[in-house]
């Protein structure tokens, strides 16, 4: 697959030798042993050869458009020239000496596993040609569930809240291990997962089902398991978003959220999963663009806060691994300071890696100036570089940064992994309500089904629109199911069409997505109920929808609209699997938000 080498990486070979997808118990790796003196000396010599420009470049993790490191599609090359001043990934590395590259679907980095592996090898080829050759740490956000940058035929697994509903630390570890093995085979050595936020705010617009739940200790156990899974497979894990993004109603992509927890509440609610990740030996921690006045009254977001990053994360919690910012293109980190100050302030706060600034030339130039002017000391920057290089060393990049087509064939999307994903998903679907034993549906009494509801954009390669996936799986299970997408905000005409379509059917399954008090989805459900036909509601994102749909006789939560979770929900609806998931968050009453409609741990059986 690449010209320099044809052997597998040591780490990849070890991963390939591991048992795939069996779900069997695996010993948790020990906390990272200290590096040898010889390793430290070698990496320090490498740092000493770098110019200020090269040192600054190694601190950045950047996006780049295109499926190839040297020959992207013309539109991607033009996007690179417009945003980065270069045509492709190889030119980006040559121009800025970036230490990391992050893959996105929208940047056309992740067409298929072979292409991802080829792109990874091309990036490492470009880095090997530098005056001071340093392998690139390639990363992505493969949280699974609603955030998955690499789709099928790679294995797609239940996301965090679904795993929280399943409650099995072994399932969480297995999911991390499978994901880590497949990422490693595609040349991705860092995953920005697991999410360590404790989602205690149902109105949270950015975390929600990306969190394992609302119980700090339960989240901590799941985070620990996933760290062991990912890193046991040879991929660096990353706990995010420190100091905790779980109690906000503002999305830091578009604004600056405030967390109003007291210091004591932070210790009780937000800190446990991060402490657990550190104890598990996690390779990296990502900061949040949030203001926590109880931890730093300055009004600075945590990413730029020395009291939070250095004072709490490094000194109080004792973390000495790599700290990476959340994307510096997000509005939450840009509202107070200009783009030329943000990277410098983040480094001064204590972070090591600067993720995806909106203008790399501005950000890189600012860091170089601060280094030359003494605002950033060379000793400080060298310490950051050493942490980053030690992570690369630990993940096998200096030994061999390449992968191969054979490794992709042996690991990515193999039958054992896909079967394990289905088994895990079967333990996550949660039955919230089941009046008069409506579920499981009977093929004799309710054999003709209509499936309606939302069809949000799913991660690439996740099996198609939710209504179509549900209808297809229910048909495979012996029902006659027809799909009709009604969208996020169905019009009166669309609702009338759904009601008309139900006339020739015995029952309806309606997929809902983050229903609000004014949502047209409520009107759709009310009109379907008015027909007198049985209505089964499935929440395909946050599980809170049932609080605003109190007349629905049967309600379930799948915690995502990806096909692995939708197929599992269909098996529960059809009675092929028992519902065993339990709520990892409380659902509060819509008319009395301080009163729980369903508590953590709720989940019906049949």
Active-site residues: which are they?
Answer: 253, 326
Q: Do residues 432 and 587 lie in contact, with contact meaning Cβ atoms separated by under 8 Å?
A: yes
Nearest to residue 417, comparing CAs of 177, 579, 202, 166? 177
SS3 (DSSP) at 506: coil
Residue whose entry in the numeric block shows the structure tokens 């990476």: 324
Give dist(CA 235, CA 176) in Å, integer: 10
Q: Which residues pair with 596 in a beta bridge?
A: 588
Q: Do residues 318 and 324 lie in contact, with contact meaning Cβ atoms separated by under 8 Å?
A: no
Give dist(CA 243, CA 408) in Å, integer: 36
Q: Do residues 88 and 80 lie in contact, with contact meaning Cβ atoms separated by under 8 Å?
A: yes
Q: Pairing state of beta strands 100-103 and 354-355? A: unpaired
Q: What is the DSSP string of 274-329?
A: HHHHHHTT-SEEEE-S-B-TTT-TT---GGG-HIIIIIIIIIIS---SEEEPSPTT
Give dist(CA 284, CA 227) in Å, integer: 10
Give dist(CA 171, CA 166) in Å, integer: 8
Q: Do residues 467 and 451 lie in contact, with contact meaning Cβ atoms separated by under 8 Å?
A: yes
Q: What is the DSSP string of 531-575?
A: TTS-EEEEESS-GGGGGG-TT-SEEEE-S--SHHHHHHHHHHHTT
Strand segments, DSSP code E, in 387-506 are: 430-434, 448-453, 480-485
Tokens matching residue 557: 């939560």
Q: What is the DSSP string of 450-480?
A: EEEE--PPPPTTS-S-HHHHHHHHHHHTT-E
CA torsion 64-70-74-75 (nearest 10°) is -10
Tokens matching residue 268: 């009780």
Q: Do residues 490 and 523 lie in contact, with contact meaning Cβ atoms separated by under 8 Å?
A: yes
Residue 601, sorted as left (phi over 0), alpha (psi -120 to 50) or beta, turns out to be left
Strand segments, DSSP code E, in 15-106 are: 60-62, 100-103
SS3 (DSSP) at 132: coil
Q: At what angle do helices 492-502 and 520-530 cross, to 10 degrees?
A: 30
Chain centre to alpha carbon of residue 587: 23
Q: Do residues 185 and 15 lie in contact, with contact meaning Cβ atoms separated by under 8 Å?
A: yes
Q: Do residues 143 and 184 lie in contact, with contact meaning Cβ atoms separated by under 8 Å?
A: no
Number of H helices, E strands in the chain: 21, 18
> Alpha helices of 186-309 — where are they, by DSSP H?
216-232, 263-265, 271-279, 306
């Amino acid at each position: 697959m690449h010209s320099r080498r044809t052997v597998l990486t040591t780490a990849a070979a070890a991963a390939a030798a591991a048992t795939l997808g069996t779900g069997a118990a695996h010993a948790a790796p020990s906390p990272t042993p200290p590096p040898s003196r010889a390793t430290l000396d070698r990496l320090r010599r490498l740092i000493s050869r770098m110019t200020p420009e090269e040192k600054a470049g190694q601190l950045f993790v950047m996006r780049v458009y295109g499926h190839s490191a040297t020959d992207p599609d013309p539109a991607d090359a033009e996007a690179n020239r417009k945003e980065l001043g270069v045509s492709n990934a190889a030119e980006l590395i040559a121009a800025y000496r970036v230490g990391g590259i992050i893959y996105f679907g929208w940047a056309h980095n992740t067409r298929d596993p072979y292409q991802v592996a080829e792109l990874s090898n091309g990036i490492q080829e470009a880095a090997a040609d530098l005056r001071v050759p340093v392998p690139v740490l390639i990363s992505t956000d493969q949280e699974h569930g609603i955030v998955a940058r690499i789709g099928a035929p790679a294995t797609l697994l239940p996301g965090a809240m679904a795993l929280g509903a399943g409650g099995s630390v072994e399932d969480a570890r297995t999911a991390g291990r499978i994901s880590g093995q497949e990422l490693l085979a595609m040349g991705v050595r860092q995953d920005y997962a697991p999410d360590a936020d404790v989602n205690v705010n149902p109105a949270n617009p950015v975390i929600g089902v990306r969190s394992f739940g609302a119980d700090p200790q339960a989240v901590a156990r799941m985070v620990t398991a996933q760290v062991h899974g990912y890193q046991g497979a040879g991929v660096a894990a990353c706990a995010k978003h420190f100091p905790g993004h779980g109690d906000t109603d503002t999305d830091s992509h578009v604004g600056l959220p405030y967390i109003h927890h007291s210091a004591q509440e932070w210790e009780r609610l937000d800190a446990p999963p991060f402490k657990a990740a550190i104890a598990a030996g996690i390779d990296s921690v990502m900061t949040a663009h949030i203001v926590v006045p109880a931890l730093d009254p300055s009004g600075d977001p945590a990413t730029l806060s020395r009291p939070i990053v250095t004072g709490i994360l490094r000194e109080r919690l004792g973390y000495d691994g790599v700290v990476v910012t959340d994307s510096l293109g997000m509005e939450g980190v840009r509202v107070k300071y200009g783009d030329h100050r943000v990277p410098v302030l983040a480094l001064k706060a204590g972070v090591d890696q600067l993720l995806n600034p909106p203008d790399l030339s501005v950000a890189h130039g600012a860091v170089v100036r601060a280094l030359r002017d003494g605002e950033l000391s060379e000793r400080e920057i060298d310490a950051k570089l050493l942490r980053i290089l030690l992570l690369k060393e630990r993940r096998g990049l200096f030994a061999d940064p390449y992968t191969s087509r054979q490794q992709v064939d042996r690991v990515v999307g193999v039958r054992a992994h896909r079967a394990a994903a289905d088994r895990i998903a079967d333990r996550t679907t949660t039955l919230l309500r089941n009046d008069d034993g409506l579920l499981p549906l009977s093929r004799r009494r309710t054999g003709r089904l209509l499936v309606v509801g939302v069809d949000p954009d799913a991660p690439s390669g996740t099996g198609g629109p939710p209504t179509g996936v549900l209808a297809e799986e229910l048909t495979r299970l012996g029902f006659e199911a027809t799909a009709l997408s009604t969208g996020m905000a169905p019009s009166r005409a669309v609702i009338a069409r759904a009601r008309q379509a139900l006339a020739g059917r015995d029952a309806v399954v309606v997929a809902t997505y983050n229903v609000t008090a004014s949502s047209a989805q409520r009107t759709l459900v009310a009109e379907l109920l008015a027909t007198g036909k049985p209505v089964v509601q499935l929440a395909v994102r946050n599980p809170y929808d049932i609080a605003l749909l109190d007349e629905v006789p049967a309600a379930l939560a799948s915690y995502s609209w990806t096909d692995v979770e939708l197929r599992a929900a269909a098996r529960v609806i059809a009675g092929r699997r028992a519902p065993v998931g339990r709520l990892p968050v409380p659902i509060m009453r819509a008319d009395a938000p301080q009163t729980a409609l369903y508590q953590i741990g709720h989940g019906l059986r049949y």
